[in-house]
Structure 1
Amino acid sequence: MHKIDKSIIKDIKSWPFSEAVKIIDSFGGIEKFVLPAKGYILLETGYGPSGLPHIGTFGEVVRTTMVKNSLENLIDASVKIVTFSDDMDGLRKVPDNVPNKDMLKKNIGKPLTSIPDPFEKFQSFGHHNNAKLRSFLDEFNFDYDFVSSTEKYREGFFDSTIIEILQNYERILEIILPTLRKERKSNYSPFLPISKQTGKVLQVKIDEYRPKHNSVIYTEPTNQKKVEVLVTGGQCKMQWKVDWAMRWMALGVDYEMCGKDLTESVDLASKICKAIGKKSPVNLIYEMFLDEKGEKISKSIGNGIGVDEWLRYGSPESLSLYMYQKPKSAKKLFFDVIPKTVDEYISHYKSYDALDPLKKYDSPIWHIHAGSPKKFKSEISFNSLTNLVSICNTDDKEIIWGFINQYDNEISPTNNPEFDKLIDYAINYYKDFVLPNKNYLKIDDDNIFIFEELRDILKFKINKNSSAEEIQTLLYEVGKKYKFSNLKDFFKLIYQVILGQEQGPRLGSFIKLFGVEETINVIEKAIELKKL
């Protein structure tokens, strides 16, 4: 892989490169970089498999992948991503979107990989959701290694680190206890025994820590008997914040990003690593997604949109662009964002080839495509395409392609499959969001002369060779002539009459795409309706 010239690294401003430089600095910097003893740099993403993968899961993996690509272009080192499933976590509540809820209710508190699969397809509920995660990530061709918490606990991979935590339990309690409420402090422990009576992950007070024996003693809730249990071999799970630190140390994680809601957890896990004399990873804290009302998106509330929903109206690349943009700023995530983001992707793509080589590293296109953009041509915006579908009032792709080829006869589904997909997205968006809200305004006595003049301008002052800008200028003159206090109201009137909506595309470009004669016909039909 081609490496970026070291002399220009300081001039690259995009956040994935900034994150990559932070990681490199933690190993001596660009000039004195020393590969970690394990032989590679490890980036981690986490997944809580009590629910299905969601748009936040995608965001974390795609952003981490962008950091990985940046690292690989800066240094000669193997860089890996591990996606860690916390599938030994106890089930806290029954999800809404699963069958066999009564069965799950009986298994609350047990590790997810010890609960039967409510879908009756996999070994356990945890295995089911892990399979969904892997299928989800594979669909986007992410390069990652999957790690199951249950497997690592039970095979003893974590044992040596867990023993170190037991030997330092007093230091860890000094870090965690001051952050807890009074009632929680009384029974908090870094260790959660797995009950041999019930199979549940127990949130119980530890009566005695026994570092010399690698064990703890607790009181079994079902019979009030004292039980000694080894902390190794998956017989105990670590409490969340301690578990995160343990995972970092055992796997040798060098970088992990997470949401703002986990800021305290990152801080405490880092302090635990330091207390044991281990290095904590570089972290990026990203902001949360908000709904159209500015409220935090929640899976349980259902006020967000899913990956499948986004991909009905926009490409995976447009979703990657959304995730790329300002990860440290809170962003609204609702359906109106999708067409805007698709058009931003098209705009970035069109400008990419003309960029100075240095500026390409700051373009989202470089990061979305790992420095190798695929072929894609579109002089037509998604907004215009959606409005073309709207004015044609059809979901027949051949009809839409007919209009497009009048505008540009050199593109086709064969030589531009990405644009062909864009038509599918536009048709879907039209059917789901535009068509149900169409409300045509009829021409009346107060404005018929405006549309008659628009028709005449299109007939006598514009031809096939007129540019979109020339058409737009002539339309502006009509708006000025009739003294609209705000020209937005003039264009709103046109949109309402010919498109049945209050907003629309830049009309000069749209008429060029739809066709001058076709636009004249639409206006004449609207005028005829007035005269009936």
Structure 2
Amino acid sequence: MTQNIPAEIAPEIAIKNRTWAFEEAKAVVKRLRAIGRGQVQTPEKGYVLFETGYGPSGLPHIGTFAEVCRTAMVQQAFEALHPEIPTKMICFSDDMDGLRKVPTNVPQQEMLAEHLGQPLSLVPNPFGTDHPSYAHHNNAALCEFLDNAGFKYEFKSASECYKSGEFDETLLLMLKHHDDIKHAVLPILGEERAASYSPFLPISPSTGAVLQVPILEVNNKNDTIRFEDVDGTIITQKVTGGKVKAQWRADWALRWHALDVDYEMSGKDLKSSADISKKILKILGKPNTAGFHYEMFLDENGEKISKSKGNGLSLEEWLTYAPQESLAYYLFQRPTSAKKLYFDIIPKAVDEYITFAEKLNEQEPAKKLDNPTWYIHHGEVPTTQHTPISFALLLNLVNAANTDDAATLWGFIQQYAPEATPENAPFLDRLVGYAIQYYKDFVLPEKSYRAADDRERTALSALADTLDSMESGLTAEDYMTAVFAAGKENGYEKDELRTWFQALYQILLGQDQGPRFGSFIALYGADKTVTLIRDALDNKLEKSA
């Protein structure tokens, strides 16, 4: 239930940290102090509860990962502040919600359309799997995804919570405060919706659908509500035992109250709804949960990412081209600022993750808490995550070697880092696979070689001659010195060296930029780089593109 934080991170060190995750964790501490009348201690339930929500009307997506990942980071920060207090994370699926519309990306559209309004946990499974319902299939996909990602969590189903009676006590409390809750919500509703609003959505006894109908009577003595069913029958029905579902703003407060949630974050687009839910929670007699509102994901044009539009970058796409750790790193950065999600950001995110991962284990405790990989790897980066080669450099290697064979690429890697093998460097081995896929799908289609002009030909020829005369196996810095010299001694002034480096990438690799060219030579090999340069001078690369 509780992650193991390295003992070197003492609470007196943790309390001084100002990253967003620790600021959020301090808000949880503040809540506990208010509940404990000045004392920060384990709640009566035996742990501090961090919750994330999931709507199983669709499959898990990048927003699902982001919320769970960031919540786990806050949980870890709290554990560093108060290692004596147990914690738990719940991933809550709102599978009692009615199917409002049929997603366009799922099979058996006509069949699903026949079940509009039904709780998602009762809608038949269109996917052909063994799961009994649409929601069960999507819930299983969520759990498989979270398990594979290594999250420690407890899964909860809304349908099970309602039907088992776990929510009954809070539902009766909501019935008692029905009018107060209703009046807390009415100001944000339109006239038509306000006329029929109730925090309770009854389950039709005739069809099983979740109904959005006026509540004709509330009876606290009998724990019932009265409403008109779809066939016109006036029904008196209890609010317990899974016979109602709370309207979603009230449902949020219901969960917080019934489960005694201490922390839940949500998107900025839900801020007004979360504020209403907090008002309802106060009516029910509990202090607010802690939490903040993260910004939305944008595509490369700055437009909000939409599953229906298909713009931006999906979770599956990121994980096709880069490791999960790089996405977690990207999500750690400034969560209250809008983030652009498109393919070009992936290599930079991977290499920035690598840079931080290589530093973490050697940093002093206070500095570690500023390192994003402390939150990704629970305080200590495994040795198997070490890589002597950047992702950008691997992309250039795939480009120059013109191969999608991992074994061939490992041949180059082992010349550069003889101690590395796919077995003792599994993260690097994964990067090789990602680099091949990213190169094939994004670099190769855009690759465009150009011919060298006279000044470039002179400098390139000089560089080839210099490399040809150098010993093999020198350091990247040795080769970088030769690259600098070839430019400076052949017509490039000091303030023009950036132009020289760009020319190298455009002429030799068919792209505008890349990592330090000395590192590329060390990895690809001086002899092969000489051949590459001379092929370029003979216009062989331009013709092969």
| TM-score, structure 1 normalization | 0.95
The equivalent of 1:272 in structure 2 is 280
- 2:446 aligned with 1:441, yes or no? no
The equivalent of 1:114 in structure 2 is 122
Does the CA contact (< 8 Å) of 1:444 and 1:530 recur in 2? no
Q: 2: distance between equivalents of 1:530 and 1:320?
A: 42
Give the secondary structure class of the aligned counterpart of 2:204: coil
Deviates more, 1:339-348 or 1:71-80: 71-80
Report the Cα offset of residue 504 of structure 1: 2.1
Give the secondary structure class of the aligned counterpart of 1:195: coil
Give the secondary structure class of the aligned counterpart of 1:84: strand
Give the secondary structure class of the aligned counterpart of 2:513: coil
The equivalent of 1:48 in structure 2 is 55
Does the CA contact (< 8 Å) of 2:10 and 2:80 recur in 1? no
Does the CA contact (< 8 Å) of 1:40 and 1:77 recur in 2? yes
**What pairs with 1:279-428 in structure 2 (closer than 5 Å)?**
279-375=287-383, 376-428=385-437
Does the CA contact (< 8 Å) of 1:206 and 1:218 recur in 2? yes
The equivalent of 1:70 in structure 2 is 77
Report the Cα offset of residue 478 of structure 1: 4.2
The equivalent of 2:213 in structure 1 is 204
Does the CA contact (< 8 Å) of 1:83 and 1:146 recur in 2? yes
Report the Cα offset of residue 107 of structure 1: 0.7
The equivalent of 2:504 in structure 1 is 494
Report the Cα offset of residue 477 of structure 1: 4.5
Change in CA separation of 1:292 and 1:486 when aligned onto 2, cut-off 3 Å: farther
The equivalent of 2:533 in structure 1 is 523
Report the Cα offset of residue 254 of structure 1: 0.6
Report the Cα offset of residue 200 of structure 1: 1.4
Deviates more, 1:172-181 or 1:40-49: 172-181
Letter in 2 for 1:276: L
The equivalent of 2:16 in structure 1 is 11
Q: 1: distance between equivalents of 2:534 and 2:66?
A: 48
Q: 2: distance between equivalents of 1:199 and 1:423?
A: 52
Q: 2: distance between equivalents of 1:359 and 1:403?
A: 35
Does the CA contact (< 8 Å) of 1:166 and 1:211 recur in 2? yes
Q: 2: distance between equivalents of 1:530 and 1:377?
A: 37
Report the Cα offset of residue 470 of structure 1: 4.2
The equivalent of 1:247 in structure 2 is 255
Does the CA contact (< 8 Å) of 1:313 and 1:425 recur in 2? yes
Does the CA contact (< 8 Å) of 2:456 and 2:503 recur in 1? no
Does the CA contact (< 8 Å) of 2:13 and 2:365 recur in 1? no
The equivalent of 1:32 in structure 2 is 39
Does the CA contact (< 8 Å) of 1:113 and 1:126 recur in 2? yes
Cα deviation 1:54-111 (Å, max 9, x = unaligned): 1111111111112222222332122111111000100011011211110100111110
Q: 2: distance between equivalents of 1:345 and 1:6?
A: 26
Report the Cα offset of residue 253 of structure 1: 0.5
The equivalent of 1:20 in structure 2 is 25
Report the Cα offset of residue 476 of structure 1: 3.5
Letter in 2 for 1:144: Y
Q: 1: distance between equivalents of 2:539 and 2:473?
A: 30
- In structure 2, the gaps of 5 or more residues are none
Over the aligned positions, Cα root-mean-square deviation in angstroms equals 2.1
Cα deviation 1:344-389 (Å, max 9, x = unaligned): 0110012223322211122112111111321132232110111011
Does the CA contact (< 8 Å) of 2:14 and 2:80 recur in 1? no
Cα deviation 1:126-150 (Å, max 9, x = unaligned): 1111111111111112111111101
Does the CA contact (< 8 Å) of 1:443 and 1:530 recur in 2? no
- In structure 1, the gaps of 5 or more residues are none
The equivalent of 2:491 in structure 1 is 482
Letter in 1 for 2:532: V
Q: 2: distance between equivalents of 1:482 and 1:446?
A: 7
Q: 2: distance between equivalents of 1:417 and 1:210?
A: 63
Which of 496, 507, 512 is equivalent to 2:522? 512
Q: 1: distance between equivalents of 2:43 and 2:501?
A: 61
Give the secondary structure class of the aligned counterpart of 2:265: strand
Deviates more, 1:451-460 or 1:165-174: 451-460
The equivalent of 2:183 in structure 1 is 174
Does the CA contact (< 8 Å) of 1:112 and 1:124 recur in 2? yes
Change in CA separation of 1:167 and 1:230 when aligned onto 2, cut-off 3 Å: same
The equivalent of 2:244 in structure 1 is 236
Change in CA separation of 1:512 and 1:120 when aligned onto 2, cut-off 3 Å: closer
Q: 2: distance between equivalents of 1:174 and 1:24?
A: 31
Give the secondary structure class of the aligned counterpart of 2:216: strand
Give the secondary structure class of the aligned counterpart of 2:538: helix
Give the secondary structure class of the aligned counterpart of 1:27: helix
Report the Cα offset of residue 501 of structure 1: 1.7
Does the CA contact (< 8 Å) of 1:366 and 1:373 recur in 2? yes
- 2:59 aligned with 1:59, yes or no? no
Q: 2: distance between equivalents of 1:322 and 1:195?
A: 45
The equivalent of 1:164 in structure 2 is 173
Q: 1: distance between equivalents of 2:433 and 2:21?
A: 31
Letter in 1 for 2:86: S
Give the secondary structure class of the aligned counterpart of 1:46: strand
| TM-score, structure 2 normalization | 0.92
Change in CA separation of 1:530 and 1:81 when aligned onto 2, cut-off 3 Å: closer
Cα deviation 1:143-198 (Å, max 9, x = unaligned): 11111101111111111101111111111122110111222211111111111222
Q: 2: distance between equivalents of 1:465 and 1:159?
A: 72
The equivalent of 1:147 in structure 2 is 156
Does the CA contact (< 8 Å) of 2:455 and 2:491 recur in 1? no
Give the secondary structure class of the aligned counterpart of 1:200: coil
Letter in 2 for 1:251: L
Letter in 1 for 2:26: V
